[in-house]
Amino acid sequence: MKIKIRPLQDRIVVRPLEAEEKSAGGILLPDTAKEKPQQGEVLAVGPGKYIAERGDRVPPALKPGDKVFYGRYAGTEVRVEGEELKILETKDVLAKLD
């Protein structure tokens, strides 16, 4: 899917994965009890951070399609074409799933 948003600098756009509908014991959770998702799929990646002293950019270590874990309250939530997305700095990404 092509999205109409392009992150700047060392930012990435992530589609959060859905929160669990049931608890470990099988109890259905209402929306207010669900935890915020902490993993998602990278949709778009910025060109990288500009280092003025060197005069070049450091490319990000992520690419579209990567699955990542990020901090619970990291980033900014945005709505693009009716879809909830997050814009994160690459430093907010904790790990990449293989």
In tens, the pLDDT along 34-91 reads: 566 689 999 999 999 988 888 888 888 999 999 999 998 899 999 998 899 999 999 9
pLDDT value of position 91:
92
C-alpha to C-alpha distances, 81 to 3, 4, 12, 78, 95, nearest whole angstrom? 8, 8, 17, 10, 28
Asked which of 5-9, 24-28, 37-41, 92-96 is least confident by mean pLDDT, the reply is 24-28
- Burial class from Cβ neighbours inside 10 Å (0-12, 13-18, 19+) for residue 24 reads exposed
Structure tokens at 40: 């998602």
Three-state DSSP state, 22 = strand
* Per-residue pLDDT at 30 exceeds 90: no
pLDDT value of position 20:
57
The full set of domain ranges for the chain reads: 11-18+37-97
Looking at CATH, the fold of the domain delimited by 11-18+37-97 is given as 10 Kd Chaperonin, Protein Cpn10; Chain O (2.30.33)
Residue pair 12/60 in contact (Cβ under 8 Å)? The answer is yes
